[in-house]
Structure 1
């Protein structure tokens, strides 16, 4: 007789390409995970995976069986949700990746609220500005700005209307003055962010008719977005950040939005997952929670009447 936990081990091992990684994700010992695979193969009477000390691959039978195993697990999950009668009781680990700045300064209290509403849920939060590999890292879903480069991933919108804004602290503006044009911006110390080795130093805006670009420079660059924001708060220069990252700083007067007549580039926030049904009700409820809180911040954005160019 087939066991659903054995199916979980097989499907996750195939997706991660590693039995040990699947075991860690499921909080099993490697021996227990290996026994689950052997038990499933014995029940089916065929070999599903070819394993060695350095590699793992699906057999022909494994490739044929994998979509059926996924469908079976998804069907069982749908049945559990149906029997729950819409009570939205969720439990177990939520393994989430998020950008450093948004995660530390915006997301943390929102997750606290979410766990108070769902006390059986445990959260594992990974903060990094590099995109998490949802197939190889211990992450179920990721919050990311922009669309995923991998077309096989599913992107669920959380804040599609979000944009970048140009801002600086009152202390910096008192010393250096406020730029009123992109030409003047080029004369200011601009705090830049670096991702995958590339410095984001060409800042893009829109004046309602056309796209405008400005090459910027400055004495500080970091691959941690939270560091860049902290430099701005300390009065070290001008920063070009997602509105969601700095909305609370602007509302508290710690930062001032500059040149609001120009629209910053789009910075949509999405929940990224490998398969829509992986977390089921947990993913749905988390997304609703985040959409509501992001919308509260977006209602106060300087571009709130924007049509979304």
Structure 2
């Protein structure tokens, strides 16, 4: 496949049966998925569940033990070097030079990747990511939110077709996170495909599609609405007095797959609606409690999936 044909396909990633083990432990098991170009695809799951390993295999940065597929039209096994030329990777840890200024960092990246007119490219990116006025500030003196913007700008500067973000906003305040995600959506609207791992439910809800991975197994994927609907969860929201005591009483009862506090309320959920109703019936008339049917949230689904996931490292 020619370079132009590979990059013009509507499908950015198409993989089947990927598996990977380290030191005899299977980290990813028989994973298949397809990602459309211009999609923001979110990966959720417990720490150590194989999210980063999955992302690296999807784009040819890590060779799977089994399975096959393509990324940007290139074979993930044979064409890893060609794939890498079109991928930007932003890690959790700030990886630019702390003792260089914002401008110097971006000019260095531009020259490193052979971008035409590196000074102009750096100047344009500074304006784009909202760092005008901070050009000469040392990167090490930036706040967490500004550092993330700079790191994103550096990743986007070589004009990649695929961007990998590994928990990019960990430790960043809500306002900075929202601004960061506005820029991600702007990049995706221009055709950039984004793979992002996150633990934040509000960030997951801003993805076009999500995948939940637990200890190497893909348990759910699709749009947020599809994942919630396919969970088949029925949820009660309980408000009132002494919810901690109620949670302790309900925990582990047959028919209840999740009992979790949410602010001043308690969410009680189950996949079998009939069994759930039977389990909560004795508590529905208890004085001081108010029970109301509610739609399960993505966090409800996340917690319920986590509760029935088995850690393969134990």
Range class of TM-score, shorter chain: under 0.3
What is the TM-score normalised by the length of structure 2?
A: 0.27
More strand per residue:
2
What is the TM-score normalised by the length of structure 1?
A: 0.28
